[in-house]
Structure 1
Amino acid sequence: MSDIIQLLPDHVANQIAAGEVVQRPASVVKELLENAIDAGAKNIHLILKDAGKTLIQVIDDGTGMSETDARLCFERHATSKIKEAEDLFNLSTKGFRGEAMASIAAIAQIEMKTKQADAELGTCIQIEGSKITNQEIIPSPVGTNTAVKNLFFNIPARRNFLKSDAVETRHIIDEFQRVALVHADVHFVLNHNNSEIFNLPSGNLKQRVVNIFGGKTNERLIPIDEDTDVLKLSGFIMKPEFAKKKRGEQFFFVNDRFIKSPYLHHAINAAFDGLTERGTHPGYFLYLKVPTNTIDINIHPTKTEVKFDNEKVLYEILRAAVKHSLGQYNIMPALDFTKDKNLETPYSYKDKPISAPKIEVDPNFNPFKTESNFNPFQEKETKTTKSYASPSKSFSSKKNEGSWETLYNGLESIANTPVIENELNPQLFETKETKLVKDTFQIQNKYILCNLNTGTYLVHQHLAHQRVLYENFLANITVKEASSQQLLFPISINYSKQELHILKNIKEELESTGFMFEDMSKDHVIVSGIPTTISESQISMVFEQLIEDFQEDIQENSFSQLDMIAKSLAKTLAIKTGTKLTDVEQEVLIQDLFACKEANISPFRKKIYTTVTSKKLDVIFNTD
């Protein structure tokens, strides 16, 4: 039998390695930014075109490279960070494997210009698919200018797996923020399609957080600072009342490297236990400094997962430090049994002189006197009296009634007078006269058991309302002309630059649904008009859900941006599980559901109802 094992060609091996390092354009951005940081750059400019698919360019003012190093950096396992195996456990830099540039060069076209400070001229290298096509000496500023063009040009299958430009841009912004949050002393600029998204001047950590996530973040931050033998902890946590349902502002950095650690995240949640609503996640920006020999960062290709030697100790320190900061800044409720607040002097009376209270006595007062000049009903009837007493039986007494018992004359007529109230019975659905549903019964405020002419059905009320709203919104957007209501006072809502970038991308679609905007710049959105189907109090909730859906790639399952918006609005405004519905609301919901084009499937492809037949019941009870 002949030998079947053979060595792979270099270009194939490089493409396989590239599959581990370069998953999407954001992976290239991460590697290039980290190389610039390791080179000591103080100004880094990131330029993107078509979400990095066409161009990813990083310009820095770091140390640069010599002509030999510039060529050698594209070879596999060529690095200046480590020299022996022991160095892997004492790493203080970002990149160290020497695979990043070689992997990028295997699946893209690269042009790199670099120059050292003591060199008169720089070097320009052009590479296409791991092959150097050109190398020349050129005049160049100090630093490195790397342009990665046409990512996955030689692997069309990999390029087809990339998401939309909006999704890929969001991943790039995530990587950009993670690097920028660690290095607040570096000036970062991000441009996408000739539009500036971020311009982060150098400063302190708090300024960097505020510049990225908006001015609203400044008042929400609580500083944290703990120094122990095994851990030095610094950074900020967000106040509990600003916890969000989505995980977007949770950042762990270990030795200036972003990591993901569900175990340490659980420690933060444990510290906030009882202070945040269920299902919400507090925000934090925490920086951990640990000895380099106590962690292993070489367990994952992206280096976002690390292994600690003493995880349990770090967990307890982290939880205690967060609790301490919450208590130190009076965020956590406290009980002090040594003070009685009822005995404390009010602040407004602190400087006033103390005087004895005056006592006045009426010497002519006789509580047993049968006739009294005082008549509480001598005055005119108040509005309250007129509302409850009939005109023919007013209980206003004459002056100087002979007995105190006459004071209660007329009260009987008040007790028998019916109270007129304006009963408000808000309906979730418009009532319809035509009754197509025979009987309905709500189960656990979640399901509706209904009896129709065609049989008995068990309906999920939340999914059913999603389908009804989705088709209504889609019809209003695409077929009918969207109706809008003008707000008397425009509403201003603050967002981070990343969230604002998402809203700008779908501004035209939002306007077609009925939203009207006065301004959408800097870190806020001013809304002047909303669709008639949305209340003013729901604006912020609708936008937050839209942003979250956009970030979670839900639009990839939609036909268009309008379809995605209709789905998001339906999910946000649909009645929630646990909502008690009246009989009329149940009937109208079932009636509207079966009037839809696709009544059996929700907008997110979930089953809405099931048919309850005698055969199914026989199977449940094991009867014939």
Structure 2
Amino acid sequence: MADIINLLPDNIANQIAAGEVIQRPASAVKELLENAVDAGATEIQLIIRDAGKELVQVIDNGKGMSETDARMSFERHATSKIQTIEDLFRIRTMGFRGEALASIAAVSQVELKTRLRGTDLGTYIEIDNSAVRKQEPCQTAEGTSIAMKNLFFNVPARRNFLKSNAAEMRHIVDEFIRVAMAFPQVQFTLNNNNTQLFYLEKGSLKQRIISILGQHYNARLVSVKETTDYMDVNGFVGKPETAKKTRGDQFFFVNNRFIKSPYLHHAIMNAFAEMIPADSYPLYVLFIDLDPEHIDINVHPTKQEIKFDDDKVMYAFVQSAVKHALAQFSITPTLDFELDPGIQQLDAINKPFTEQQQTQSASGSLYKTFTQANQAHVIDNSSNLKHWKDLYDIGKSDSFSTSRPAADTGRSSVSSPLYNEEPVPDATPRTSSFSASSSLIDERWQDTTIDQKVPVQVHQRYILSQIKSGFILIDQQAAHERILYERYQRALLDSPVPVQQNLFPQTLPLLPADAALISEMLPDLLVLGYDLEPFGNNTFVVRGTPADIQSGNEQASIEGLLEQFKNFSNDLKVNRREQLVRSMARNNAIPAGKSLTTREMQNVIDELFACAMPTSSPGGKYTYISFKLSDLAKMFG
């Protein structure tokens, strides 16, 4: 029998290895930026064309490479970071495995210019599909310039799997931001199609956060700083009011390397428990510094997932550090007594506290209770509180809850009047708000016919509506999301959403990445009712919005739409129009917690059952659940 196992040719092996490292243009951006940082650069430029498909170029002023090193850098597993096996457990650099440039050269055409500091001439190398086409001396600035052109030109099947330019550009910006955030002492610039998206000056971490995420965070950051013998944690978290419904502003760095850790994210969420809604995500930029021997960063091709030797210690320390920061700094609104004119007019502010008044106050029982040691729990029986039993008796007689013996059915009695089907003898007339509201509901239902019951809102989240066979319970947010989704789908096909022109057009400043994203969506946004016009410098003029957007909420609506779109573009493998429609539907849907009038509830019911698919929201969530009378009868025995 013939042998069947053969060694793969180098070019095939290189492409397989490249598939682990270079999955899209953003992967190359990450590797090239990290190499520039490792080279000691203080100024780094990233140049992008056609969302990285045509060109990804990184220019740095680092130490550069010699002629031999420049050639060796493209060999597989060639690195200056690792000499012995022990070095693998003391890694402080960003790159170390030596597969980045070899992988890039396997799937693209590469041009490298580099000059070692202190030398007169540099080196130019041209590589095509892992093969060196040209190598010669050249004149170039100190540092390194590496250009990756025509990504996946030799693997067209993989090129076809790339997403739209907007989606790929978003991934590139994400990688750029992660590296730039980790090294605020380095100047970074990003140019896309000859337009500058970012110019980040050297500065402090706080300045870097604000320049990337926006000026509105300037007064909304809380400093985190804890130091122990085992590890250090420092950085910033956002105040609770900065929490968003979508992810994106969460950054963990371990020894200056960006990582993804759902485990540590859970620790942050626990620290913010009861300060933010359960479905919101707080902003945080946290740097963890510890001995490299306590972590393993070589467990994932992109090095974004690492292992700690003691996860529980990390969890507890991060959680306590954030809790301590939130407790140490004022994160709740404070009363400003100097600015409130109403408070200034109070007698306690205007009139002096005389010695006679001080003596009278000090002799009172209340003063003594709070000033004498160990007396905070004492009740003064000499005060009017000795009649507290009389107050209890009065409240008892007025209570809406009247107990009565349980019927001999094996079930306990229910004292609320909503459940008493027959009058209780000698019961006191009930005037509480509980029984009043229940009687209003009863009247409202009695005034309608059997088949046309008035809908009722339950906890400002659900709509209860009676049908012949029982009743249905509608999730108002999911139902309205389905309604809007189908409305916007029709708009894209043949029925554009009416635009309500603003009397006074507003300017909308955006972050560079968001401005690039929204620029590509302008035609579709116009069909969906948003009339936006570029105004230069990452700013747009809002001339009109959909007619159902409340006046004054135009900016919040567009910003919310962007957040939803970015969330969908990461999670759903659908085209850009579908992402946009789903984003708009979710962003503009009636939120849980909003009170609805009877007419509004009835409109939701009518429009939901006029939909082509009324049973679920675009995301697959049930819009309503039906309850049959026969099922209810079984539930009640």
* TM-score for the superposition, normalised by structure 2: 0.74
8 Å CA contact retained: 1:448, 1:461: no
Distance 1:104 1:110 in 2: 8
Q: Which digits, 9 at most, give the CA deviation of each residue in 1:490-536, with x for residues without a partner?
A: 55666433333323332343344443457755576554533211113
> What SS does the corresponding residue of 1:499 show, helix, strand or coil?
helix
The aligned residue for residue 114 of structure 2 is 114
The verdict on how the C-alpha distance between 1:589 and 1:249 changes in structure 2, with shifts beyond 3 A counting, is closer
> What SS does the corresponding residue of 2:582 show, helix, strand or coil?
helix
1:316-335 counterparts in 2 under 5 A? 316-331=316-331
8 Å CA contact retained: 2:47, 2:191: yes
**Aligned residue-pair number:** 531
> What SS does the corresponding residue of 2:299 show, helix, strand or coil?
coil
Q: Which digits, 9 at most, give the CA deviation of each residue in 1:177-212, with x for residues without a partner?
A: 111011111111101111111011111211111111
8 Å CA contact retained: 2:491, 2:527: no
The aligned residue for residue 591 of structure 1 is 606
What's the CA shift for 1:463? Answer: 4.0
The aligned residue for residue 564 of structure 2 is 549
8 Å CA contact retained: 2:462, 2:473: no
The aligned residue for residue 126 of structure 2 is 126
Structure 2 residue ranges without an equivalent (≥5): 335-342, 357-448
8 Å CA contact retained: 1:448, 1:460: no
Greater shift in the superposed pair: 578-587 or 56-65: 578-587
2:69 is aligned with what amino acid?
D
> What SS does the corresponding residue of 2:219 show, helix, strand or coil?
helix
What's the CA shift for 1:345? Answer: 10
The aligned residue for residue 101 of structure 2 is 101
Greater shift in the superposed pair: 530-539 or 461-470: 461-470
Distance 1:44 1:575 in 2: 45
Distance 2:292 2:158 in 1: 36
The aligned residue for residue 484 of structure 2 is 469
The aligned residue for residue 86 of structure 1 is 86
Distance 1:214 1:521 in 2: 17
Question: Which of 547, 550, 554 in structure 2 is aligned with 1:539?
Answer: 554
CA RMSD of aligned residues (A): 3.7
8 Å CA contact retained: 1:438, 1:452: no
> What SS does the corresponding residue of 1:552 show, helix, strand or coil?
helix
Structure 1 residue ranges without an equivalent (≥5): 335-343, 358-434
Distance 1:283 1:462 in 2: 26
The aligned residue for residue 303 of structure 1 is 303
Q: Which digits, 9 at most, give the CA deviation of each residue in 1:309-363, with x for residues without a partner?
A: 23322322222222222222222699xxxxxxxxx99999879877799xxxxxx
8 Å CA contact retained: 2:126, 2:135: yes
The aligned residue for residue 7 of structure 1 is 7
The aligned residue for residue 590 of structure 2 is 575
What's the CA shift for 1:124? Answer: 1.1
The verdict on how the C-alpha distance between 1:229 and 1:493 changes in structure 2, with shifts beyond 3 A counting, is farther
Q: Which digits, 9 at most, give the CA deviation of each residue in 1:110-141, with x for residues without a partner?
A: 11111112222211111111111111222111
The aligned residue for residue 178 of structure 2 is 178
Q: Which digits, 9 at most, give the CA deviation of each residue in 1:83-125, with x for residues without a partner?
A: 1111000011110001111111111111111111222221111
The aligned residue for residue 139 of structure 2 is 139
1:220-239 counterparts in 2 under 5 A? 220-239=220-239
The aligned residue for residue 515 of structure 1 is 530
1:134-533 counterparts in 2 under 5 A? 134-331=134-331, 446=462, 451=467, 461-475=476-490, 479-480=494-495, 482-487=497-502, 495-517=510-532, 522=537, 527-533=542-548
Q: Which digits, 9 at most, give the CA deviation of each residue in 1:431-459, with x for residues without a partner?
A: xxxx9x86686796547666589x99886
8 Å CA contact retained: 1:116, 1:143: yes
Distance 1:346 1:302 in 2: 64
The verdict on how the C-alpha distance between 1:467 and 1:353 changes in structure 2, with shifts beyond 3 A counting, is closer
1:498 is aligned with what amino acid?
A
8 Å CA contact retained: 1:530, 1:536: no
2:297 is aligned with what amino acid?
I
Q: Which digits, 9 at most, give the CA deviation of each residue in 1:561-589, with x for residues without a partner?
A: 4x544433222233345767666555543
The verdict on how the C-alpha distance between 1:59 and 1:476 changes in structure 2, with shifts beyond 3 A counting, is same
Identity of aligned pairs, percent? 46
Distance 1:196 1:322 in 2: 35
Distance 2:597 2:4 in 1: 73
Distance 1:348 1:84 in 2: 78
> What SS does the corresponding residue of 1:97 show, helix, strand or coil?
coil
The aligned residue for residue 403 of structure 1 is none
* TM-score for the superposition, normalised by structure 1: 0.76
Distance 2:471 2:13 in 1: 61
What's the CA shift for 1:11? Answer: 0.9
The verdict on how the C-alpha distance between 1:210 and 1:319 changes in structure 2, with shifts beyond 3 A counting, is same
Distance 2:138 2:239 in 1: 53
The aligned residue for residue 77 of structure 2 is 77
1:250 is aligned with what amino acid?
Q
Distance 2:345 2:320 in 1: 35
What's the CA shift for 1:72? Answer: 0.9
Distance 2:332 2:606 in 1: 49
> What SS does the corresponding residue of 2:218 show, helix, strand or coil?
helix
Q: Which digits, 9 at most, give the CA deviation of each residue in 1:147-206, with x for residues without a partner?
A: 101111111111111111111111111110111011111111101111111011111211
Distance 1:256 1:460 in 2: 44
The verdict on how the C-alpha distance between 1:85 and 1:170 changes in structure 2, with shifts beyond 3 A counting, is same
Distance 1:354 1:462 in 2: 56
8 Å CA contact retained: 2:246, 2:563: yes
Distance 1:443 1:80 in 2: 67
What's the CA shift for 1:470? Answer: 3.0
Distance 1:438 1:332 in 2: 47
What's the CA shift for 1:259? Answer: 1.0
> What SS does the corresponding residue of 1:124 show, helix, strand or coil?
strand
What's the CA shift for 1:244? Answer: 1.2
Distance 2:505 2:168 in 1: 33
8 Å CA contact retained: 1:442, 1:581: no
8 Å CA contact retained: 1:519, 1:527: no
> What SS does the corresponding residue of 1:536 show, helix, strand or coil?
coil
